[in-house]
Amino acid sequence: MLLLFIFSLVAYLLGSLSSAIIVSQCAGLADPRTQGSGNPGASNILRIGGKKLAGIVLLGDLLKGWIPVMLAKLVGLPLASLAWVAFFAFIGHLYPVFFSFRGGKGVATALGGLLALAWPVGLIGVLSWGLALFLFRYISVASMLAAVVTFFYVFYVYSFPVYLPIFLMTVLLIARHFSNIQRLFQGTEPRLTRTNLNQKK
């Protein structure tokens, strides 16, 4: 129990390091929470800073989910505990203590945690996200559908102690996309196109 507490705390603190805000500061950009969609994540950095910066942010967000779970796995924590460590890294991204508890949506951080938890789970997330993005061209839709598909896979394969934190992650991730859902119904949610991909390098 003590190890779970320690790793959960470490995961939360790592999750609280907002890659988007840090990269924006280093690149001389404004706080991403005040630009574009207002979300401090890779998709918003893609819009306001270009592909290279977005790639750095994506990698940073993946790693802060992957690292604490992998470290916890190396010391022998059971699978259910690893799922909670992934959850707290995700919570850190959503509510970062270092940035006034105003964080992002947690998609990449959740994926990083799931890849460390069990790579087939992460692979399901990646494949379902990619397929949904190809079909619908909305990053938000792809993220929400991937979260739901991944949860149902975990629900089918694993027991309650493992799928409970994954369920909570799924609910929170969808809730964080509320503004995207509103824009989808209003017809104002931006699609991902070759044009907006090539606006900035």
Residue 198 has pLDDT above 70, yes or no: no
pLDDT tens digits for range 6-45? 999 999 999 999 999 999 999 999 999 999 888 999 989 9
Task: Tell me what the pLDDT averaged over the chain comes to.
Answer: 94
Residue 142 has pLDDT above 80, yes or no: yes
Q: Please give the Cα distance from 112 to 64 (Å, whole number).
A: 7
Residue 137's pLDDT is what? 94
CA separation (Å) from 129 to 14, 118, 149?
Answer: 24, 17, 9
Residue 146 has pLDDT above 70, yes or no: yes
How far is CA 114 from its chain centroid? 10
Residue 195's pLDDT is what? 57
Q: What percent of the chain has pLDDT over 70?
A: 96
Residue 1's pLDDT is what? 87
Residue 36's pLDDT is what? 84
Residue 179 has pLDDT above 60, yes or no: yes
Helices (H), ranges, the chain: 2-15, 19-27, 42-49, 51-74, 79-94, 107-117, 119-136, 139-157, 160-176, 178-186, 194-197
pLDDT tens digits for range 68-108? 999 999 999 999 999 999 999 999 999 999 999 999 999 99
Domain locations along the chain: 2-197
Q: Name the amino acid, one letter, at 69.
A: V
Residue 168 has pLDDT above 80, yes or no: yes
Three-class SS state of 33 = helix
Residue 193 has pLDDT above 80, yes or no: no
189 DSSP assignment: P
Q: Please give the Cα distance from 86 to 125 (Å, whole number).
A: 14
Residue 174's pLDDT is what? 98
Answer yes or no: are the C-beta atoms of 103 and 18 closer than 8 Å. Answer: yes
Residue 199 has pLDDT above 70, yes or no: no
Q: Please give the Cα distance from 104 to 61 (Å, whole number).
A: 10
Q: Please give the Cα distance from 157 to 151 (Å, whole number).
A: 10
Nearest to 124 by CA among 105, 152, 100: 152
Nearest to 42 by CA among 27, 20, 67: 20
Residue 201 has pLDDT above 60, yes or no: no
| Four-residue CA torsion sign, 130, 134, 136, 140 | positive
